[in-house]
């Protein structure tokens, strides 16, 4: 099995099935207790699918961690996608490091 997290989605809007992909998304609220929710700006001519219309951002702290249960000696495929959408009206996408456990995975 797998989970699709819609980061920033309010818990009372979860779960839902995205009609284009047919994937079921759930709020990330059970997996993280820090950060704030935001919504991307509407841009005429751009139609984002629902998971890309809300976001979680982290104005405080050096590291903000999601807690996901794993089983030792099991392989996992982790896919992360990010949409800036000028949610903060700064017109400048943030730059941040993404970690898996204590190890840096990539800079976004």
pLDDT tens per residue across all 108 residues of the chain: 789 999 999 999 999 999 999 999 999 999 999 999 999 998 888 888 999 999 999 999 889 999 999 999 999 999 999 989 999 999 999 999 999 989 999 999
> Is the whole-model pTM more than 0.75?
yes
Angstrom distance (rounded) from CA 100 to CA 108: 14
Neighbours of 40 (CB within 10 A): 17
The confidence score (pLDDT) of residue 43 equals 82
Question: What torsion do the CA atoms of 77, 78, 79, 83 make, to the nearest 10 degrees?
Answer: 170
The confidence score (pLDDT) of residue 103 equals 94
Burial of 39 (0-12, 13-18, 19+ CB in 10 A): exposed
Angstrom distance (rounded) from CA 13 to CA 24: 12
């Amino acid at each position: 099995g797998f989970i699709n997290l819609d980061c920033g989605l309010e818990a009372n809007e979860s779960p839902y099935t995205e009609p284009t992909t047919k994937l079921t998304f759930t709020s990330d609220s059970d997996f993280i207790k820090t950060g704030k929710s935001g919504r991307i700006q509407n841009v005429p001519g751009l139609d984002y699918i629902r998971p890309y219309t809300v976001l979680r951002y982290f104005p405080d702290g050096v590291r903000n961690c999601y807690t996901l249960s794993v089983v030792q000696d099991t392989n996992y495929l982790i896919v992360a996608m990010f949409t800036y959408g000028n949610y903060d009206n700064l017109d400048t996408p943030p730059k941040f490091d993404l970690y898996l456990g204590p190890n840096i995975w990539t800079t976004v």
